[in-house]
Amino acid sequence: MELNRVDGEGDEVADIEPSIRRNHGQNHFQSSRYPGAVRKKAYIFDGDGNYYNKEWDLIEGRDKEFCWYHVELPKGNQKLSQSAQYLIDVLCPPLKLQDILSLVSNGPFCGHVDGALVFRVNSPGPASSKFTFRIAARVTENSVITVSLGRVPRLGFSPANESLLSEVPVVESPNYGGGGEEDRGGMVIKEHVLDFLLTMNHSEEADNPVPRSVSNLVVHIIDTHMDHLQDVVTKLEIELDSVEFELDKGGFALKKQMLDDRKFPKMHLDLQRLMQVIAHGEQVFPRVKEKCSSKDWFVHEDINALEELIGRIRRLKENVGFIANRVTAIQAGLDSWQSEQINRKLYYLSFLSIIFLPLSIITGVFGMNVGGVPWTGQRDPTLKDGFRNVLLLCVAMLVIVLLCFLFPALYSRAVGWRRSQVLRRSWSLNRKSFVRRSDLDVERTGRRGYLRL
């Protein structure tokens, strides 16, 4: 069997080692119950900076060689038990059920299972959500098995000559024609692809150094998980900046639409889920560092790299906390704006009720079925102007009500005018006193200048 060599030197074909041939010939694995349900990747590293694609046989490497098997679970609405069935289908045998359950279960975990170091950072939640992260690894001296939910960016490796970023691209624009592409040459990068790359804090897989040991591979897996979290946080920051800009230039309709859509409560819930994932990593990765430091095959430089990743996840947690505070402040501003709108409508309603209050009082008085009510003698010619008198009475009461509303404003204006007059008079008196004292000082000393304090 031959495998394509994909190291940076560009060799086309390399024969597999005899030991791998023997191991592959000894494995007979059963047919899959769920063909195509999960994506599988298998690599073998020679320890000298080269790696090869290999068959999915779950065999450990020998001597300096080590293998990496990666499983991508689909991001759908399947249950956790369905994900466990997928892993049983692709990992059992040689893995036991205990190993598989330790990889697929929810929550943080770091410990030894059946002689291998197993750690996971699996957040509960719907698998289809972009804020649900699951990454688990089973590490031995010559093999690593990882399980992720969906694709993890930058996790794999690609030859440098096939990278999108290895050439200077031509950015596609609405005014870009076919002739320009032929004149300049090179590849054409879509505008939405460029926007996606700008939201990432890293480039493609081409800049990943090929691991030379299992410890390098473990650091690479944790590092790419951190990059994935950082990408999501960056996208949230960009989305929040655009929403703040829209709120600044938007009006009543935009704010009402955001309140109706519950945009910021949903964003706050997503931030809490992301905070939970970061908290799981903050709990697991120090334990991984502690357990790996006792292994003789774990390189000391990689221990320091794990320490840097632990500090990075703590800084990422602080950044997510700042974003959550911004979302809370924006939501509080929208809530106060909504309360102000409600209070304004209630003010108008209360003002209308006060206007119609005299009418209701008068109609109540004249609607009483008792004797002695004025202007009720319909045949008396002296009382023919009773309706007009009632309207005049209503107008008089309305004027009194308006004066009661306007009196505080008029009173505050009168008080302010009175205070300004007093201040102006006081300033005029002080100025006259200052001029008088200056003249007396000139007459006494015979020279002008500043007053001696």
- Compute the half-sphere exposure of residue 312: CA atoms within 13 Å on the CB side of its CA: 16
Predicted local confidence at residue 445, as pLDDT = 58
pLDDT: is 174 or 6 the higher one?
A: 174
Predicted local confidence at residue 11, as pLDDT = 37
Tallying the residues shown for the chain, one arrives at 453
| 103 torsion bin: left (phi>0), alpha (psi -120 to 50), beta (else) | alpha
Predicted local confidence at residue 169, as pLDDT = 61
By the 8 A CB rule, do 233 and 316 touch? Answer: yes
Backbone angles phi, psi at 117, to 5 degrees: -80, 120
- Residues linked to residue 66 through DSSP beta bridges, in sequence order: 45
Backbone angles phi, psi at 170, to 5 degrees: -100, 120
DSSP string, 44-60: EE-SSS-EEE--S----
Residue 264 has pLDDT above 80, yes or no: yes
By the 8 A CB rule, do 261 and 351 touch? Answer: no
What tokens appear for 50 in the block? 């080269």
Show the beta-strand stretches assigned E in 96-245: 107-113, 116-122, 134-139, 143-149, 170-171, 188-189
Work out the percent of the chain whose per-residue pLDDT is above 70. 71
Predicted local confidence at residue 201, as pLDDT = 54
Predicted local confidence at residue 374, as pLDDT = 66
Predicted local confidence at residue 387, as pLDDT = 64
- Predicted confidence (pLDDT) per residue in 79-100, tens digit: 888 888 888 888 888 888 888 8
Backbone angles phi, psi at 425, to 5 degrees: -65, -40
Question: No. of H helices and E strands in the chain?
Answer: 11, 11
pLDDT: is 157 or 24 the higher one?
A: 157
CA atoms of 320 and 230, how far apart (whole Å): 10
DSSP string, 319-345: HHHHHHHHHHHHHHHHHHHHHHHHHHH
Instruction: Give the 3-state secondary structure of residue 42.
Output: strand
The contacts of residue 115 (CB under 8 Å, 6+ apart) are: 140
Which of 259, 274, 287, 1 lies closest to 117, judged by CA? 287
Predicted local confidence at residue 17, as pLDDT = 38
Predicted local confidence at residue 198, as pLDDT = 63
pLDDT: is 41 or 393 the higher one?
A: 41
Backbone angles phi, psi at 399, to 5 degrees: -60, -40
Sorted by where each starts, the structural domains of the chain and their CATH numbers stand as: 2-156+208-338 (3.30.460.20), 372-427 (no CATH)
Q: Could you tell me the pLDDT band of residue 119, with boundaries at 50, 70 and 90?
A: very high
Q: Which of 182-196, 228-242, 399-413 has the lowest mean pLDDT?
A: 182-196
Predicted local confidence at residue 177, as pLDDT = 43
What Cα–Cα distance (Å) separates residue 98 from each residue in 120, 143, 294? 14, 18, 24
CA atoms of 238 and 333, how far apart (whole Å): 20
| 409 torsion bin: left (phi>0), alpha (psi -120 to 50), beta (else) | alpha
Q: Which of 172-176, 216-220, 223-227, 292-296 has the lowest mean pLDDT?
A: 172-176
Residue 292 has pLDDT above 80, yes or no: yes
CA atoms of 53 and 424, how far apart (whole Å): 91
Predicted local confidence at residue 269, as pLDDT = 86
CA atoms of 299 and 43, how far apart (whole Å): 21
Q: Is the peptide bond before 153 cis (omega within 30 degrees of 0)?
A: no
Instruction: Give the 3-state secondary structure of residue 262.
Output: coil
Long-range contacts of 422-428, Cβ-Cβ distance < 8 Å, separation of 24 or more = none
CA atoms of 86 and 299, how far apart (whole Å): 33
Predicted local confidence at residue 146, as pLDDT = 92
Predicted local confidence at residue 183, as pLDDT = 45
Residue 284 has pLDDT above 70, yes or no: yes
Residue 325 has pLDDT above 70, yes or no: yes
For the entire predicted model, the pTM comes to 0.65
- Mean pLDDT to the nearest integer, 447-453: 51
Residue 290 has pLDDT above 50, yes or no: yes
Predicted local confidence at residue 79, as pLDDT = 82
Q: Which of 170-184, 323-337, 421-435 has the lowest mean pLDDT?
A: 170-184
Predicted local confidence at residue 444, as pLDDT = 61
Predicted local confidence at residue 386, as pLDDT = 64
Residue 27 has pLDDT above 50, yes or no: no
- Predicted confidence (pLDDT) per residue in 129-154, tens digit: 888 888 999 998 889 999 988 888 88
* Residue 5 DSSP symbol: B
Mean pLDDT across the chain? 75
> Residue 381: how many CB atoms within 10 A of its CB?
6
- Mean pLDDT to the nearest integer, 331-350: 84
- Predicted confidence (pLDDT) per residue in 220-233, tens digit: 999 889 888 888 88
CA atoms of 414 and 37, how far apart (whole Å): 81
Predicted local confidence at residue 239, as pLDDT = 84
- Compute the half-sphere exposure of residue 345: CA atoms within 13 Å on the CB side of its CA: 5
Q: Is the peptide bond before 93 cis (omega within 30 degrees of 0)?
A: yes
